[in-house]
């Protein structure tokens, strides 16, 4: 089963298979991923799901953005995949109450540029004298 997650400019695809509980991130074992904060962020939904997530092999491929954006995208993909794999309303409720951003993406986007200036809000300076 393939599930995707997005965060800012990052996209992560997670492939779920029954197995022995191995997790890989961009073809590397998750336990050697650095920084540690990114590793903890990716493991968060798995820790919350506890024994329901045991025996799952998860292969994550992330691209775009930085390491923390990729970690957030992977976290979203794992959370969505766990809910879909287990078909459990309890896990869905647990993840949603812990942090809603795990299941629902962040809707913030960059504002588009308008006429009369170099950016979305900035305008050319006006001189009175």
Q: Count how many domains the chain has.
A: 1
pLDDT tens track for 27-52: 999 999 889 999 999 999 999 988 88
Residue 109 counted as domain residue: no
Please report the pLDDT score of residue 88 as a whole number: 87
pTM: 0.82
Mean per-residue pLDDT of the chain: 90
Q: Look up the CATH number of the domain holding residue 12.
A: 3.30.230.10
Residue 116 counted as domain residue: no
Query: What is the full DSSP assignment across 57-110?
Result: EEEEEEESS-HHHHHHHHHHHHHHHHHHHH--HHHHHHHHHH-GGGTS-----P
Residue 1: its H or E element: none
Residue 111 counted as domain residue: no
The whole domain housing 93 covers 2-102
**The 2-7 sheet, strands edge to edge:** 2-7, 10-18, 56-63, 23-25, 28-29
pLDDT tens track for 66-122: 999 999 999 999 999 999 999 989 999 999 999 888 898 878 888 999 998 899 999
Residue 119 counted as domain residue: no
Q: Please, which pLDDT band fits residue 18 given cuts at 50, 70 and 90?
A: confident
Residue 38 counted as domain residue: yes
């Amino acid at each position: 089963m393939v599930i995707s997650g997005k965060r800012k400019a990052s996209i992560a695809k997670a492939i779920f298979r029954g197995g022995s509980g191995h997790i890989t991130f961009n073809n590397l074992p998750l336990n050697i991923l650095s920084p540690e904060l990114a590793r903890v962020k990716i493991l968060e939904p798995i820790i919350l799901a506890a024994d329901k997530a045991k025996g799952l092999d998860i292969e994550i491929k992330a691209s775009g953005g930085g390491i923390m954006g990729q970690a957030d995208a992977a976290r979203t993909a794992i959370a969505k995949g766990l809910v879909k794999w287990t078909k459990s309303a309890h896990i869905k409720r647990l993840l949603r109450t812990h942090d809603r951003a795990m299941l629902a993406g962040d809707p913030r986007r960059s504002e588009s540029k308008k006429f009369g200036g170099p950016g979305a809000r900035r305008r050319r300076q006006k001189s009175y004298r």
